[in-house]
Amino acid sequence: MHAVNLEAEPWLTTVAEKLTTGCLLTIDYGKRFGDAPNPPRGFYQHTHAETLTEREGEQDITASVDFDVLISAGEQLGLHTESYNTLSRFLLDGGIADFLPTGDSLADIKARAQIKTLLHPEGMGEAFKVLIQSRGLLS
């Protein structure tokens, strides 16, 4: 089973038509699936649901973004793929380490923990991907 976002390509078409010069930044959980399945998943109170139909109307149903679709559609619309990487790599390359608080206050410790959540490989750092597509930029 492979979940499909029926609105992804129409949305990308609308954005690409309006973008004359600049970048489109897409951040979400997902990956490049290729031929691998992308099954939808159910969640109830932050716990994976056994079936999509359990707790009808009470649980969330979601699927990962298939970035292959966005990359391919973007290229067909004249967008150049600048980069595709993990959230942690994007943030580290962007210099997030320069913003890490170094103090021992509770606020500094809390801020470091929040940033760690964004970078950790078992958390958002690897699950979330960043796709940068552009039009009209000088490389």
**Does the pLDDT at position 18 exceed 70?**
yes
pLDDT for residue 12:
95
Mean pLDDT (the chain, rounded)? 91
What pLDDT, in 10s, does the model give residues 27-63? 999 999 988 988 898 888 888 888 888 888 888 988 8
73, two tokens: 């559609």
Backbone conformation region of residue 102, classed left if phi is above 0, alpha if psi is from -120 to 50, else beta = alpha
What pLDDT, in 10s, does the model give residues 124-133? 899 999 999 9
**Does the pLDDT at position 75 exceed 90?**
yes
**Does the pLDDT at position 22 exceed 90?**
yes
pTM for the complete prediction? 0.86
